Amino acid sequence: MRCGVSAKTGQLIYDWEHCLQSIDKCLTTRIGSRVLRRHLGADVPAYIDANGDENTIMHLFQAITQALDDPVGGEPGFSLQKIEMVQAGRDGAYHFVMNGIFYPNGHLGDWSLKQEKVAIWPN
């Protein structure tokens, strides 16, 4: 069973809720910025304030995919299957729906249990 501490409330969180928090941490952390875990992170923060053109959006999709599927610094409990942008406003906010497979014991290297899940990011 996955277990951790909520970054928002300080309470214990489990399973899918913990995986969602890990996905968020992975996507919002700049690569190389965590002292003891330099491999963790994504290029997503590099696109803050970038022009909202097709090129930037394509690079954003690529950065999300690479970050989550990275075997060293990604999220072992989630296998991204499909990603869709559901909001892109003039305010520069992008929202994504990510469909994938949640592996409750993926962090332990056990991918025998699986569940289809949908992650909305940012949540």
- Look at the domain 3-121 and name its fold: Nuclear Transport Factor 2; Chain: A, (3.10.450)
Per-chain mean pLDDT for the chain: 90
Cβ-proximal residues to 43 (8 Å cutoff; 6+ apart), any chain:
31, 59, 63, 66, 67
Q: Is the confidence at residue 72, as pLDDT, over 90?
A: no
* CA pair distance 53, 119, nearest whole angstrom: 24
What pLDDT is recorded for position 53? 85
Q: Is the confidence at residue 39, as pLDDT, over 80?
A: no
Q: Is the confidence at residue 19, as pLDDT, over 90?
A: yes
DSSP 85-101: EEEE-TTS-EEEEEEEE
Domain boundaries, the chain: 3-121
